Amino acid sequence: MIRENLKDVRNEINKACTLSGRDEKSVELIAVSKTKPVSELMEAYECGCRLFGENKVQELVDKYEQMPKDIKWHMIGHLQRNKVKYIVDKVAMIHSVDSLRLAEEISKEALKHQVTVDILIEINVACEESKFGVTVADAEALIREIAVLPGIRIRGLMTVAPYTENAEENRPYFESLRQLSVDINAKNIDNVNMNVLSMGMTGDYAVAIMEGATHVRVGTGIFGERQYAL
Ligand SMILES: *Cc1c(COP(=O)(O)O)cnc(C)c1O
């Protein structure tokens, strides 16, 4: 099942790249494996997946211990400051930085572990009350504050677009995230680059790619529906 799903997702990614005149290699697929057992992650690994996304610290650490070491782990979920220390030397990128206090904690732990941590700034493009992330209006100020912290490298932006049955409805949000990254890039802030645009999930990754996504985060489309314990 996972093998066929991955084939479909990769085809879809390639199609979106062709449609928008982009090189297929400019889009990275992050397999979002939250709630799924290691056996299923291994199946995806055997089909070539090397980027995995998790949204809980404990789960990420458990899977990190059990899975092959050439995997790049992406922390995509809300991160509590007191848990930063457990993952700072295990993740390739933290997608969900939306406050100075969190960034300061990451910086502190990065120095302690003698690593440099790549981070993305999470933007709440649709201004949804229920979502984490900084607003488009507040993004630049936050980025300027974080950029001076040691041990951290701002690599770009991330957003979780609204849930919708119609992916086209999210196109304007992806467009505004890309525009924001272009605007911020033009400010030439030291220690900040905007090479990464993490946007697009199972329901809308093709549209996100057409709007410039460099990293798509696909869970259900690869592993099937998630079952949450009640
Ligand atoms: C769960 C999750 C995803 C993947 O969602 P699907 O709709 O299953 O593809 C992507 N991004 C974040 C931040 C998530 O928490």
pLDDT tens string 31-82: 999 999 999 999 999 999 999 999 999 999 999 999 999 999 999 999 999 9
The answer to whether 216 and 177 are in contact (CB under 8 A) is no
pLDDT tens string 120-167: 999 999 999 999 999 999 999 999 999 999 999 999 999 999 999 999
Count of domains observed in the chain: 1
Sign of the dihedral through C-alpha 199, 183, 25, 14: positive
Residue 230 lies in a domain: no
| Confidence at residue 202, expressed as pLDDT on a 0 to 100 scale | 98
Rg (CA), the chain: 17
CATH number of the CATH domain containing 46: 3.20.20.10
Residue 228 lies in a domain: no
Residue 217 lies in a domain: yes
| Confidence at residue 228, expressed as pLDDT on a 0 to 100 scale | 77
Whether residue 27 has pLDDT greater than 70 = yes
Residue nearest to atom 4 of ligand 1 (CA): 219
Q: Is the pTM value of this prediction over 0.75?
A: yes
| Confidence at residue 227, expressed as pLDDT on a 0 to 100 scale | 86
Pocket test for ligand 1, best of 55, 124, 159 (most atoms within 8 A of CB): 55
Residue 95 lies in a domain: yes
| Confidence at residue 230, expressed as pLDDT on a 0 to 100 scale | 61
Is residue 9 within 6 Å of ligand 1 at its C-beta?
Answer: no
pLDDT tens string 182-210: 999 999 999 999 999 999 999 999 999 99
Q: Which two tokens stand for residue 108?
A: 């502190």
- For 204-221, b where at least 16 C-beta lie within 10 A, e where not — what string? bbbbbbbbbbbbbbbbeb
Confidence of residue 180 (pLDDT cuts 50, 70, 90): very high
Residue 40 lies in a domain: yes
Residue 229 lies in a domain: no
The answer to whether 155 and 101 are in contact (CB under 8 A) is no
Residue 134 lies in a domain: yes
Instruction: For residue 34, give the ligand 1 atom closest to its CA.
Output: 1
Pocket test for ligand 1, best of 56, 74, 91, 217 (most atoms within 8 A of CB): 217
Residue 160 lies in a domain: yes
Supply the DSSP string of the chain, one letter for each residue: -HHHHHHHHHHHHHHHHHHTT--GGG-EEEEE-TT--HHHHHHHHHTT--EEEES-HHHHHHHHHHS-TTPEEEE-S---GGGHHHHTTTEEEEEEE--HHHHHHHHHHHHHHT--EEEEEEB-TT--TT--SB-HHHHHHHHHHHHTSTTEEEEEEE--PPP-S-GGGGHHHHHHHHHHHHHHHTT--TTEEEEEEE---TTTHHHHHHTT-SEEEESHHHH-------
Give the residue numbers spanning the domain of 17.
Answer: 2-223
